Structure 1
Amino acid sequence: MNDGMNQFLQVFFEETEEHLASLELLLLGLDLEQPDAEELNGIFRAAHSIKGSAGMFGFDDLTAVTHELETLLDRIRGGQLALHAEMVDLFLQARDVLMRLLHAHQHQQPDPDIPTAATVQQLRTLLEKAPEPTRVDDSFGFFGQAPGQPGQPGQPGQAVAEDDDFGFFDDAPGAPVAEDDTFGLFAEVPGAPQTEATAPALAIKSVPTVQSAPAKPASHEAESSSIRVSVEKIDSLINLVGELVITQAMLGQLGGALDPSVHERIHQALAQLEHNTRDLQESVMSIRMLPISFIFSRFPRLVRDTSSRLGKQVELQLQGEHTELDKGVIERLSDPLTHIVRNSIDHGIELPEERIQAGKPACGTVRLGAFHQGGSIVVEVSDDGRGLSRERILAKAREKNLAVHDGMSNAEVWPLIFMPGFSTAEMVTDLSGRGVGMDVVKRNIQGMGGRIDIDSAAGLGTRISIRLPLTLAILDGLIVAVAQTHYVIPLTYIVESLQPKASDIRGLGGEEGSVIRVRGEYLPLLSLHDLLGESSPALPPEQSIVVILEADGRLFALLVDDLVGQQQVVIKSLEQNFRRIDGIAGATIMGDGSVALILDVDALPRLAERQGEALHALDQF
C-alpha cells in the first residue's frame, strides 16, 4: 500500500478510536427510563461515521457490525424500539468487538477469535423484535404532505414536515413530526396529533433559532482550525526548544561578563531573546498538554463491568477532568489508575447487604479526581468502603518475615501493601489475590518522578493520592551551590530563603538533628551537604543560606552554601545516562557547559530519616 493511502488509513484508525470512545461514554450515560435524544443521536452518528469510513476502505467486518448497530439505534431514536439494560450491554459488547477489529486491521494481524458473526447475529435478533419503521421520504422533508394524505391525520392546510435545516425554522402549530435525518433537533409541538406508527417515545425539546443558527459554520470552523501532527514531530520540537533554552542560558552567561554601559544593545537583545525563548517554550510545551479526561473517560465502563461481575453497586464520581497534564505522563498513568480503581471496587466497596447492615447506602462511591498543587498534579482515587485492615496487613507481613510490630503507626503500616507479592485477599480471582499489582503501581509512579500515598480509616474508606510532575521536560529552578557543586531546586517548592543566625538554630542532642526558628516557628533543618555526602567540610550555619521548602504540605529548611541564581533548566534523565541517586530527580546542562543535579525535594525528608535525622523534630516543640 502506498504512503498516501497509509496516511489516510492512519487518520481513519485515529478517528474511529475517537468515535468508539465517544460511543462508549454516551452508552454508559444513557438514562434507560428517559434517554436523552441528543445522546441517542450522538451514538447513532458515531456508528454511522464508522460504517461509512470502514466501507470506503473495504473493512467489511467493521461495516457489518456497524450496519446492524446503526439500524437498531435508528429504530430506538425513532421510537419504534424501547431501550433496556440488556440492549445497552449488547451495544457495549459490539463496541468492544469493533475495537478489536480495528486493532487487528491497524496492526495487520487478523484475529479469528473475534466474535464478529455472533455479534452481528445478536444484533439482528434484537432487530427482528422491532416493528418495521415508517417509510421516510427521500426528499428529506423539504416538501410537506397534502392535507388528508394517508398515514397522516387530516389537518387544515399543508403539514410541515421536518427537514435538513438543523432547527433553523420552528414547526408550525399542529404539525406532525416525521422521522428524518435531522438527528432529533425538532420538538413536537404540544397537542400535535400522531399516528401509532409515527409517535416517538421521547419528548425532545425544540432548539431555539438563535442557538442553532451557527451550528453548521461552527462545525466547519472546528474542522479547519485543527491539524493532526505525529507525536514524534512534537517530541522533536520539544527537544529542539530544550537545546535552545540551554543555548540562551550560555549566551546570557557570556553577556553577563560584558559592561552594560558599553554593550547596551547586546544586553537588550539578550533580554529579548530570553523573553522570546520562554514564550516559545511555554507554547511548545502546551502542545503536549492533554486534559486528564483522556484517561478518566475509560473508567465509567471499567467501574460498570467490574461492579457487575462482583455483584456490587458502585457509582463513579469524576472531578477535575479538564486538568491538563503532559501526554507522556498521561499515557503512563493509565495502567496504575486502572489497578487502583479495580482494587477499590474489589477490596474496598462492600456488597449491598453488608453496606446496609453497616448503615451505609447500598450503592458505594468511587471518586476519581485531579487537581494542581504547586508544580505538581495530584490524582486521587477514594472510596467509601470498608477501608484497609491493619490487622490483616500486619499478619500478612509477619507471614512474609517482615520486621513489623503492633506499635507501628498507620502511616508505616499502609505502605506495606506495596511490597512485592503482598496480598490480603482471601481467595484468588481473575481480579485480585495473586499479590501482583500494587508493587508495580508504585514502581511505575516512581519511574515518572512521582510518589504515591495512602490514607485509610476502618469503615469509612480509603484514599490513594498520586503526585506527579506536570511535565517531564523543562522547569524553572533556583541554582544553589554546595562545596563547589551546583544543584537545582524547582521553584514551585520554594517558600523563601534567608541568612540564618546562630541563635536561631538549635540541636536536639545526639543524632536527633537540628531545628531552626523562623518568625517564632520551629522547622526541621536539613543539611544538603550531609544528605548528599559531600566530602569537604561544611560551612558554619551562620555563613550559609537556608531555603525554606514545602513538600507534602509540610515545611522544612534546607541548608546550602550559596545561592547562584534563578534559571530555566532542561531536565535530563540521570538514571538513563548514569545511575539512580537518592534525592536526585535528574540533571541539566548549565550555561557554562557544566552539569547541575536537580533535587528531588519530596525525597529529601525521607532521605534524612533513613540517615537518622529527625524530620518529626517539630513534634517536640
Structure 2
Amino acid sequence: MDITDFYDTFFEEAEELLTDMERYLLELNLEEPDAEQLNAIFRTAHSIKGGAGTFGFEALQKTTHLFENLLDHARHGELNLRRDIVDIFLETKDMLNDQLTAYRNGEEPDQEAFERICKTLQQLAEEEIKARGDGSPGAPASQPQAQTREAETEAAGEGEPAASLLIALLGISEENRALLVEELEQFGTVIAQSGDAERYEVELETTTSAADIESVMCFIIEPEQIETRSATPSAAAAAEDTSPASQAAEPESKAAAEPIAASGASEAAEQAPSSQTTAPELAQPVEPQKPMEPKKTASKPPAKPKGGAENSSIRVSVEKVDQIINLVGELIITQSMLDQTVSQLDGVTNGSLVNGMSLLQRNARDLQEAVMSIRMIPMDFVFSRFPRVVRETSSKLGKEIELHTEGESTELDKSLTERIIDPLTHLVRNSLDHGIEKPEEREALGKPRVGHLTLSARHQGGNIIIEVKDDGAGLNREKLLAKARESGLSVSDSMTDDEVWQLIFAAGFSTAKEVTDVSGRGVGMDVVKRNIQGLGGSVQIMSTAGQGTTIRIVLPLTLAILDGMSIKVGDEIFILPLSTVLQSLQPTKADLYEMAGEDLVLRMRDEYLPVIAVHDALDVEGAQTDPLRSIAVIVQGEGRRYALLIDDLIGQQQVVVKNLETNYRKVPGVSAATILGDGRVALILDIAGLHHLSQRKKEARQTSLDTSAKPLPTSTEVALS
C-alpha cells in the first residue's frame, strides 16, 4: 500500500486539529487554566506528531515534539501560563499550519522559519527551567527527568509502549484488511493474526506506543474501526477492570503519571520533599480518583457495538460535490424544457403526462435542495477565525475588547463562506480601530472600559444576514462630509444619513489621522463592497452617535441556484433575483416627475425613486418606450430602491446560475446568466450595476448634446488660434 494515498486525509484532519488548538488556546483562562482544555491542546500536538513521523514530515515532527514537551509541562502545572507564552503557542500553531501547507504543495517548509520557531520554543523551555531552578517538585530540573515523566505519561494515558500490542480492526473487508496489516508492519513485527471481517485481531511486537499507532491509523480508517490494548495478560486484565478499587491498585508507575492537576496527586506533591521521586509521593493518602480512560476514549468516540449502525459520515472531495450540483442543475434545466413543452399540450387528453411532469418537478426541486445542503456549512467555520483577530488587533491598539458571536449554526454555501472571510476581516478591523474607543475615552463617556464587538448570522427568506456590531462612538456625519469634500467627492448637506454612511466605501476614503499597520491607507472598505457585490449581496450601515455602528451584509444562501422573476423587454427575457423584487405597479402620470437632464423619478409613498428604463440601459430594440404603458418593478440594490421600467412580467421560476465571466466576459449591468426552458440564454440583472450603466449613458448623451450645441469656429478664429 502506498502511504502517500493518505496524505490528503492527514492534511485535512491535521488542519482541523490546529483549528481546534487555536480555539482552545484563545479560550484559556490564564489565572485558572482548564485541565481538559490543556489536555485537548496536548493531544492535538501529540496526534499531529505521530502522523508527521509516519509520513516522514521531519520538520513538522520536530516542531510538534518541542511544542508537545512544553504543553506537557503546562498541563501538569509545571509551566505557569502567561499571555506572552500563549502568544508563542499561537505563533507555533501558525508555523505548524505553514509547514502543513508546504508539505501539501510538495515543498519543504521554510528552513529559516523552522529554526527560528524551534529556537523560540527551546529558549522558553530553558527560561522555565532556570526560573524553577530551586529544585521544586514540579520543576523540569533536567532533561532525563523530563524524558522519564514523558515516558510515564505515555504509559498512563496517552498510550502503552508495551512490547506486544493486540490491535483489533473492526468492520474491515478482506482486501483492505491486508493493506492495513502491511501498514501495521511498518511499526514492528506481526506475530499473529486471526478473525473475520467483523473483528480481525493482529498481535504486533513494537516499540511504538499504542497512541501513536492509533493516531496514524485514524488518518486511514475511522477511529471506531480500531481498538488497541496490551497483549500481556496482566495489562489486559487491568484494561478490563476499570473499577475505582482496581484503579487505586494500579502499579505506582502508572498512577504517578496522572495529571498533577488532580486534587489528590497535587496535595501529595505539595507535602512531599523536593528530593522525593514520584512513587514515594503517591504513597501519601489520596482521595479515590475517577477511573482512568484509555487514550482512544479521550480523543474519539468508543467503538460501536456489534450489529450497530455504520459510521454516520463520510469525507467527500468538493470537486465531486460540485460535479453532482452541476448535473442537478442540468437536470433542472431539462425539467424546465419538458415542463414548457407539456404546458402546450391539452391537459385533458394528456392528464397522466401532466401529472407525471408535476411529480418530476417536485422531485427535481427536492433533489436540488438535498444536494445543495451538502455544500452548506455552519457560520462557525467563519466566526471561529475572529477571536484571534480581535485578540491581536485590540492588543496593538491598546484597547480592551470582547468578542461575542451569535447564530454560529446558521448555514451558508461553502464557496460563500470562503469568500466572505476577507470582507468580514476588514469590517472587524475597522470596528476595532475606528469604532470602539480606547478604555480611557470610554470611561470618560460613562461607558465600561471593555468594548463589545458582536458577529451574528441569521436566515431571512432566501438570504443570510451577517452583522458586525460594535458599541463604539458611531459614525460622525459632519466629519464624513468634510473628509469627502477634501477627497474631491461630490456631496451635499441634503444627503440622507444612509447616503453619508455609504461614503466610507468610496475608494481611497479614510478618516484615520495617521497610517498604521491596522488602517489609514484608504484601502479595504471599497474592496469590501466590491467583493460583497460580486457575491450577489449588498451592504447596509446603521449608526447612532455615541452608541455604536452596525454593518449588515445581505447574501444569497447559494450561488448555484436562484429564485428569480422573469421579465420581458422587447423580445428579450431577463431574470431579476427574487430577493431584490419588492413590488410591481402600473405608473400613472401623477406618479412620474422629470428632473434635471433626462432623470425621471417615481413617487411611491412619499419616496422618490430613480427610474431605470431597462431597454435604454441595455439597448434592447422593439421595447415599450412610453413609461405610462410600461410596468414599474420596484427593486432594491446597494441599500437603495429603484423603479425598473419593463414591458411585461412573465412569472417566478427557479434558475440555474451560470457564471458569465468564465464563459464569456464581464457585462455591465449583468451578474450572471441562465438557460431557459426553451433553450435560450437569459441574463440575470445586477440592480446596482444597471443603475450605474443607465447613469453613464445619460451623462454620455448629455455631453454629446453640449458639444453639438457649441457654434462652429469661424475661419478668423481658426487663424487666430
- TM-score, normalised with respect to structure 1: 0.80
Aligned match of 2:18: 20
Aligned to 2:656, which of 550, 570, 587?
570
**Residues 531 and 64 of structure 1, relative CA distance in 2, 3 Å threshold:** same
**Cα deviation code 1:61-99 (max 9, x no counterpart):** 222222232223233333344333332222112212212
Aligned to 2:77, which of 61, 76, 79?
79
Aligned-pair CA distance for 1:530: 6.2
Does residue 587 (structure 1) correspond to residue 673 (structure 2)? The answer is yes
Larger radius of gyration: 2
CA RMSD of aligned residues (A): 4.5
**Residues 492 and 418 of structure 1, relative CA distance in 2, 3 Å threshold:** closer
Instruction: State the secondary structure of the residue aligned to 2:523.
Output: coil
Tell whether the 8 Å contact from 1:186 to 1:206 is kept in structure 2 after alignment.
Answer: no
Q: Which moved more, 1:364-373 or 1:402-411?
A: 402-411
- 1:241-256 to structure 2, matched below 5 A, reads 241-256=328-343
**Residues 286 and 537 of structure 1, relative CA distance in 2, 3 Å threshold:** closer
Aligned-pair CA distance for 1:542: 9.1
Does residue 90 (structure 1) correspond to residue 84 (structure 2)? The answer is no
Aligned to 1:457, which of 535, 539, 544?
544
Aligned match of 1:382: 469
Instruction: State the secondary structure of the residue aligned to 1:441.
Output: helix
- 1:420-459 to structure 2, matched below 5 A, reads 420-459=507-546
Aligned match of 1:147: none
Tell whether the 8 Å contact from 2:247 to 2:291 is kept in structure 1 after alignment.
Answer: no
- 1:330-369 to structure 2, matched below 5 A, reads 330-369=417-456
**2:548, 2:153 → 1: CA distance?**
58
**Residues 67 and 602 of structure 1, relative CA distance in 2, 3 Å threshold:** same
**Residues 208 and 270 of structure 1, relative CA distance in 2, 3 Å threshold:** farther
**Cα deviation code 1:350-380 (max 9, x no counterpart):** 2211221121111111111112222221221
Does residue 47 (structure 1) correspond to residue 53 (structure 2)? The answer is no
Q: Which moved more, 1:410-419 or 1:340-349?
A: 410-419
Identify, as 1 or 2, the structure richer in helix: 2
**2:241, 2:541 → 1: CA distance?**
52
Tell whether the 8 Å contact from 1:316 to 1:366 is kept in structure 2 after alignment.
Answer: yes
Aligned match of 1:62: 60
**Cα deviation code 1:130-164 (max 9, x no counterpart):** 5247954876499xxxxxxxxxxxxxxxxxxxx99
- For 2:118, the aligned partner's letter is A
Aligned match of 2:195: none
Tell whether the 8 Å contact from 2:602 to 2:610 is kept in structure 1 after alignment.
Answer: yes
Aligned match of 1:279: 366
**Residues 34 and 460 of structure 1, relative CA distance in 2, 3 Å threshold:** same
- For 1:54, the aligned partner's letter is A
Tell whether the 8 Å contact from 2:468 to 2:551 is kept in structure 1 after alignment.
Answer: yes
- For 1:51, the aligned partner's letter is K
**Cα deviation code 1:13-36 (max 9, x no counterpart):** 211111111100001001122222
Q: Which moved more, 1:322-331 or 1:117-126?
A: 117-126
**2:523, 2:251 → 1: CA distance?**
58
Aligned-pair CA distance for 1:332: 1.2
- For 2:109, the aligned partner's letter is P
Identity of counterpart residues, as a percentage?
48
Q: Which moved more, 1:178-187 or 1:297-306?
A: 178-187
Aligned match of 1:510: 594
Instruction: State the secondary structure of the residue aligned to 1:360.
Output: coil
- For 1:507, the aligned partner's letter is D
**Cα deviation code 1:301-326 (max 9, x no counterpart):** 11111111221111111111111111
**1:387, 1:232 → 2: CA distance?**
44
Aligned-pair CA distance for 1:43: 1.0
Aligned match of 2:354: 267
**Cα deviation code 1:164-198 (max 9, x no counterpart):** 97997567999999996999899968999744268
**Residues 126 and 469 of structure 1, relative CA distance in 2, 3 Å threshold:** farther
**2:240, 2:126 → 1: CA distance?**
33
**Residues 472 and 181 of structure 1, relative CA distance in 2, 3 Å threshold:** farther
**Cα deviation code 1:229-272 (max 9, x no counterpart):** 22222222211111111111111112222333333333333223
Aligned-pair CA distance for 1:116: 3.0
Q: Which moved more, 1:295-304 or 1:178-187?
A: 178-187
Instruction: State the secondary structure of the residue aligned to 2:302.
Output: helix
Tell whether the 8 Å contact from 1:185 to 1:207 is kept in structure 2 after alignment.
Answer: no
**2:542, 2:532 → 1: CA distance?**
17
**2:153, 2:423 → 1: CA distance?**
52
Aligned-pair CA distance for 1:441: 1.6
**1:5, 1:335 → 2: CA distance?**
36
Aligned-pair CA distance for 1:515: 4.4
Instruction: State the secondary structure of the residue aligned to 2:112.
Output: coil
Unpaired segments ≥5 residues, structure 2: 133-137, 141-145, 160-236, 273-277, 699-721
Aligned match of 1:227: 314
Tell whether the 8 Å contact from 1:398 to 1:404 is kept in structure 2 after alignment.
Answer: yes
Instruction: State the secondary structure of the residue aligned to 2:46.
Output: helix
Q: Give the aligned length.
A: 582
**1:231, 1:27 → 2: CA distance?**
30
Does residue 304 (structure 1) correspond to residue 391 (structure 2)? The answer is yes
**1:405, 1:228 → 2: CA distance?**
56
**Residues 184 and 464 of structure 1, relative CA distance in 2, 3 Å threshold:** farther
- TM-score, normalised with respect to structure 2: 0.70
- For 2:126, the aligned partner's letter is T
Aligned match of 1:236: 323
Tell whether the 8 Å contact from 2:376 to 2:411 is kept in structure 1 after alignment.
Answer: yes
Unpaired segments ≥5 residues, structure 1: 143-162, 613-621
- For 1:110, the aligned partner's letter is P
Aligned match of 1:160: none
**2:329, 2:109 → 1: CA distance?**
42
Does residue 483 (structure 1) correspond to residue 570 (structure 2)? The answer is yes
Q: Which moved more, 1:264-273 or 1:133-142?
A: 133-142
- For 1:102, the aligned partner's letter is L
Q: Which moved more, 1:453-462 or 1:184-193?
A: 184-193
**1:180, 1:290 → 2: CA distance?**
43
**2:535, 2:580 → 1: CA distance?**
18
**1:219, 1:411 → 2: CA distance?**
61
- For 2:30, the aligned partner's letter is L
Tell whether the 8 Å contact from 2:539 to 2:639 is kept in structure 1 after alignment.
Answer: no
